[in-house]
Amino acid sequence: MKAAVLHEVGGIPRHEDFPDPVAGEGEVIINVKAVAVESVDKAIAAGTHYTSTNYLTHLPMIPAFDGIGALPDGTLVGFGNLSSPYGALAETAVVPRDSYVPIPDGIDPAVATVLGSAITGMSITTAAGFVPGETVLVQGATGVAGRLAVKVARLLGAGRIVATGRDDEQLREVLAIGADTVINTAVSDEALTQAYTDAKGDGYDVVVDYLWGRPTEILLRSLIPESFAFGKPTRVIQIGESAGTGLTLGGSSLRTSGVEIYGAAKGLGSQTMAEVYGQIVTWTRSGELTFDVEQVPLSDIETAWRRTDLKGRRLVVVP
């Protein structure tokens, strides 16, 4: 079969022949239809992600750990749990029979690869208990997941949406898809502190954070009350770390600011995940929630892997 094959840690996958996977007992062969290439896939291939050692046990190997494909009877499914050196960026994959789920009718395979990114935006309800009318701040709103979070917040009834990013052109696009106010984080610490203060109005109720690092550290400092009055509660949901893996959190940022910090998985279980997924599917089918994807053939993986011009679109490889 043809596949995207990684020969060395930090290398670029090449389109070439790779041995066909063989289904063992309790496994099934899947014909791959679409695979999203995300930052985590590149980080794993580069050896910089904390899970890299789990996936780079054998080289050469095929990157990407999940995708959308068809069972032998044609049923479209989302699949994962592949065994190294096999990954999803190939014509076929083999997975255990308990490692795939049906994709609802009416969802395009390429769009199906991005549904998970939209689900992270739903953490404003599952993790933070969002109430319609509240103010939502999306940190990192120019990325794929961040843009979807803006759209989800609007669909859920946010009273006001503030969005951050580093590119003015992309921030204008974020305004067009539903944000009320945008903040460029590529400014001095003092200017960014003032921007957060100026944009918060009565306060940020929920923060959807795909950045962490410097911008979030400055945000948390900006929420410290200037008097002994208790600050308005702000629920921060930590999802990503594109701006840094850590930050310095002073005690004063928590004592009276009203800040509460949650991980994105808070509140998730089998029932809530099904409810969240069902809502995303409903919006997708109705056209209320749209997804920006850039489809490329598997044969172009070397060029596609290097692309830096996607600007909020998800790269989806189609074998």
Rounded to whole angstroms, the Cα distance separating 77 from 54 reads: 24
Domain with 47 in it: what CATH number?
A: 3.90.180.10
Is residue 200 assigned to a domain?
Answer: yes
236's torsion region: left (phi>0), alpha (psi -120 to 50) or beta? Answer: beta
Same domain, 103 and 128: no
Rounded to whole angstroms, the Cα distance separating 126 from 264 reads: 8
Q: Which pair of structure tokens corresponds to residue 48?
A: 């910089």
Q: What SS3 state is found at 3?
A: strand
Same domain, 182 and 248: yes
Domain with 165 in it: what CATH number?
A: 3.40.50.720
Q: Which pair of structure tokens corresponds to residue 88?
A: 């999803």
Rounded to whole angstroms, the Cα distance separating 224 from 259 reads: 9
How many distinct structural domains can be found in the chain? Answer: 2
Same domain, 110 and 156: no
Rounded to whole angstroms, the Cα distance separating 41 from 64 reads: 6
Residue 200 structural domain: 117-263
Between the two ends of the chain, the Cα-to-Cα distance in Å is: 11
Same domain, 41 and 70: yes
DSSP string, 284-303: HHHTSS---EEEEEGGGHHH
Same domain, 125 and 168: yes
Same domain, 107 and 167: no
Is 241:215 a contact under the CB 8 Å cutoff? no
Is residue 178 assigned to a domain?
Answer: yes
What is the value of pTM for the model shown? 0.90
Rounded to whole angstroms, the Cα distance separating 55 from 87 reads: 9
Per-residue pLDDT of the chain (319 residues; tens, 9 = 90+): 999 999 999 999 999 999 999 999 999 999 999 999 988 899 999 998 888 888 888 899 999 999 999 999 999 999 999 998 999 999 999 999 999 999 999 999 999 999 999 999 999 999 999 999 999 999 999 999 999 999 999 999 999 999 999 999 999 999 999 999 999 999 999 999 999 999 999 999 999 999 999 999 999 999 988 776 666 799 999 999 989 989 998 888 888 788 999 999 999 998 999 999 999 999 999 999 999 999 999 999 999 999 999 989 999 999 9
C-alpha distances out from residue 57 to 35, 60, 128, 163, Å = 22, 9, 38, 39
